[in-house]
Amino acid sequence: MCKNTSLWRSYQTISFKAGQHPVYHSFAILTAFNPRSIVLNSLDNQKRNKILEKELAMLTESYFPVSCCASDGRWEEAGYIVDIRAEQAYLLAKKWQQNAIYWVEANQLYLVPVLLKGFEKQRLGEFSAFFSIPK
């Protein structure tokens, strides 16, 4: 199996955890962790995400932290739920060298390729099925 196909499949088995439920009709889930899915050390990933957060703060006040996790627990990345246009989200993801982003519209979760070639936007299901608020 091609490495990109394996990555694409792993992106489909996702769960999100945040301290609050998003109230936006549509939003992006963005991270600056692990550019091109190359695993960086924790300190570098945290620095990248802090810079991304500063960029988001200049674009909108409507964002908050989210944890993005593989459903089998193999990996976890910090990110942000952001109320911005899809085009803005795509450009930010490209800038931060992300292979794909998650887009939510009307409670439908989509996986959207950014740097990965040969893949199309894919509907994963109802966002609420992928989201939880930790106790």
Q: With bands split at pLDDT 50, 70 and 90, how would you rate the model's confidence at 92?
A: very high
Alpha helices, H only, the chain: 3-12, 42-59, 86-95
Q: What is the pTM of this model?
A: 0.94
Please tell me the total count of domains within the chain.
Answer: 1
Q: Give the C-alpha separation, 13 to 22, whole Å.
A: 20
Domain that holds residue 41: 3-132
Q: Give the C-alpha separation, 106 to 116, whole Å.
A: 25
pLDDT cut 70: percent of the chain above it: 99
User: What average pLDDT is seen over the chain?
Assistant: 94
pLDDT in tens, 39-86: 999 999 999 999 999 999 999 999 999 999 987 878 899 999 999 999
Using alpha carbons, select from 9, 63, 73 the residue that is nearest to residue 31: 63
Q: With bands split at pLDDT 50, 70 and 90, how would you rate the model's confidence at 3?
A: confident
For the cut 60, the answer to whether the pLDDT of residue 1 exceeds it is no
Q: One-letter amino acid identity for 128?
A: S
Q: Give the C-alpha separation, 12 to 121, whole Å.
A: 11
Please state the φ and ψ torsions of residue 3, each to the nearest 5 degrees. -55, -40
pLDDT of residue 24: 95
H/E stretch holding 68 reads strand 63-70
